[in-house]
Structure 1
Amino acid sequence: MSNEVIGLVGRDNLTARVFQELRLALMEGRFRPGHRFKIRELASTMGVSETPIREALMQLVRARVLSMQASRSIEVARLSAAQYEELRSIRILLEGLAAERATTRISKADIASLKKYHQALVAAERGGHSREAVQVNWQFHHTLYKAADAPELLEMIETIWLRNGPLFNLLYPHATPTYPGRHQHLNVIDGLMAGDPEAVKQAIKDDLLEGGARLLQLLQDIEAGTAPSHLDATAT
């Protein structure tokens, strides 16, 4: 694991700092499902002792974001197609509410950031830069939901993204989001600029359903054994 994935943390309140860095990395999709954490290596990379690493990882195990195997190794939890679909239905409700609230609260600067993140997403997908695509997609959604100014709601959304973020690495190249019309991110931006909460809420719902359709099918194919042999939702 390189410093591009996880960086150094400060010395104060180490466990909390390690936890927050790992939390962000998971939401941004910097780890794939099945990624196995090596505590000594992670401690060296982050510049801390093994104790705060172990404590932070165990917090994520208790949250079901990571799983502990019989060998006591800790890895990023995998999601089944049914789990993904259930979480998506919850996301539609929570993220739709956040998007609706954000419409009347978001700043022009944040809308400009959304445009920038979407352009970066499109460029990353076209260039085959899957890690960057996953990361800027998170930044697009998080910027929108943070603008709702609803900390408790944002915490719930982030908790689900902790489990979904790693899975989004499977989008590329076999399940790249596609839309029957224009990209739903553009509809989100248009709705925000028009001050139309219902349009923004609907665009988020459509983004999750349309953009995630191929991922859901891929998960179903993996479980049925009909996906390409290397796509078993394990870490690379």
Structure 2
Amino acid sequence: MLDLPRRLTAEALGTAMLVAAVVGSGIMADRLSSDMAVSLLGNAIPTGAILVVLITLLGPVSGAHFNPVVTLVFALKREIATRAALAYVAAQIAGGIAGTILAHAMFDLPLLQVSTTIRTGTGQWLAEAVATFGLLLTIHLGLRFRYEAIPWLVGLYITAAYWFTASTSFANPAVVIARALSDTFAGIRPADLPGFILAQVVGGLAALLLTGWLLAETKPLASPPENMKGAE
């Protein structure tokens, strides 16, 4: 395994590029079309595509978490040390904010913004819990059964979740924080962050519990004692 500084660099870089793709494609889609459905499609496809690329390339370096909930779940499974997990989360948040600023710079927008887009309510929170639950379920089952397909599984899942969840599937606290700093198509009002982040954590923990049960090794039935054999 690579040393922690290199892993943190990969996490920050990957999250920055992910957020730049999310925010940048949202700005581009909104500029090119007044049709909300077309804009959402123009936002969803690049997000799924960049995830395939980033996970494929940076997965061998850091595990390609790019998401504090993913890191939290792996920390609870003792697959990453607590100190490293905290550093991962800090790198992810910093990278996400950098990605937002980069997207703004590319489109000649003010670098520092605060979103005014309202995203709140039980439907949105449930959608975020479902989106994050599905993401973690995809990761855990993929790691067990189709490790080599993880980049595609995650990319395709997020592309689909943009459309079947009411919240358009943020599913990532670092991305939520970064998008709160963009008053564009992809933004979310800062006041709505706590509800989204809590729902994401709940969804991630629910996936951890379910996959822990689904993938638990079952002990074979003990053989009958020698003096019992043939008694039937």
- TM-score tier, shorter chain, comes to 0.3 to 0.5
Tell me which structure has the larger Cα radius of gyration. Answer: 2
More helix by share: 2
Give the TM-score taking structure 2 as reference length.
0.32
Give the TM-score taking structure 1 as reference length.
0.32
